[in-house]
Amino acid sequence: MATKRVYVQESVYDEFMSHLTAIVKTLKAGEGFCSPIQNKLQYDKVRSIYEDCDKQHFDFVVGSGKVPEHQPGSGFFISPAVVAKPPEKSRVVQEEAFGPILPVLTWHEDDDVIGRVNDTHTGLGATVYCRDEKRAWGIASSLETGSVWVNGGLKMHPVALFGAHKQSGIGGELGPLGLTYYTDTRTVTYWKESTTKEKNTSGSLFA
């Protein structure tokens, strides 16, 4: 799992972008932290998202929308890019690229960002960074995702269910609830013969 979009509070946006761009500029395609795309089909999809951003003149603060066609015999490498404040309904925001392109958007009110985050057909995971524990909990409990991390991310606990909402994922795993995804429920109804002393009764067993 990797971060596909970032929402930054307006008051800290400039500072955040300064740190983010400095880090991303150190990444180079082909190194351990920027590995190749899985296959050509996915490479072409990621490339089309880059090109879509370029055609609409989105602000590439790192990288560019120019991605060369894949050449046979070479790896499926694409240089990382950061796109500043693209439209909410743009492909780079709405689609899961599974590639090294990151849209960064701003927000002001909690309800606004919660609604925008939830306005998508996917819901695998989310991370909330906030110094106010009560506020962080309120946001986390309102997000329509299978997992939410607060002030950290991508760590799984073996007794906690890891799953997804909406069109993300194919079920769940880990913990007692995760085991139920590998089971099927059966209802057995057993009818007992009535006697002169007792009325006809039935019972249901679940297995």
Q: Give, in order, the Cα–Cα distances in Å from 101 to each of 98, 121, 150, 162.
A: 8, 19, 23, 25
Question: What pTM value is reported for the model?
Answer: 0.83
Could you tell me whether strands 6-9 and 101-107 are parallel, antiparallel, or unpaired per DSSP bridges? parallel
pLDDT digits (tens, 9 = 90+) for 70-94: 877 788 999 999 999 999 999 999 9
Give the rounded percent of residues in the chain with a pLDDT score beyond 70.
93
Domain encompassing residue 22: 6-179
CA 138/CA 154 separation, integer angstroms: 20
197 located within any domain: no
pLDDT value of residue 75: 86
pLDDT value of residue 68: 79
Positive/negative CA dihedral, 146, 90, 111, 154: positive
pLDDT digits (tens, 9 = 90+) for 142-174: 999 999 999 997 788 889 998 888 888 888 899
**3-class DSSP state of 33:** coil
115 CA to centre of own chain: 15
Instruction: Residue 21: give its domain's CATH number.
Output: 3.40.309.10
1 located within any domain: no
pLDDT at 62 over 90: yes
42 located within any domain: yes
186 located within any domain: no
202 located within any domain: no
Tally the domains of the chain.
Answer: 1
pLDDT at 198 over 80: no
CA 146/CA 170 separation, integer angstroms: 11
Q: Average the pLDDT over 99-112 and give the result.
A: 97
185 CA to centre of own chain: 30
pLDDT at 207 over 80: no
Q: What is the largest CA-CA distance in the chain?
A: 86
22 located within any domain: yes
206 located within any domain: no
- The length of the chain in residues reads 207
162 located within any domain: yes
pLDDT value of residue 195: 65
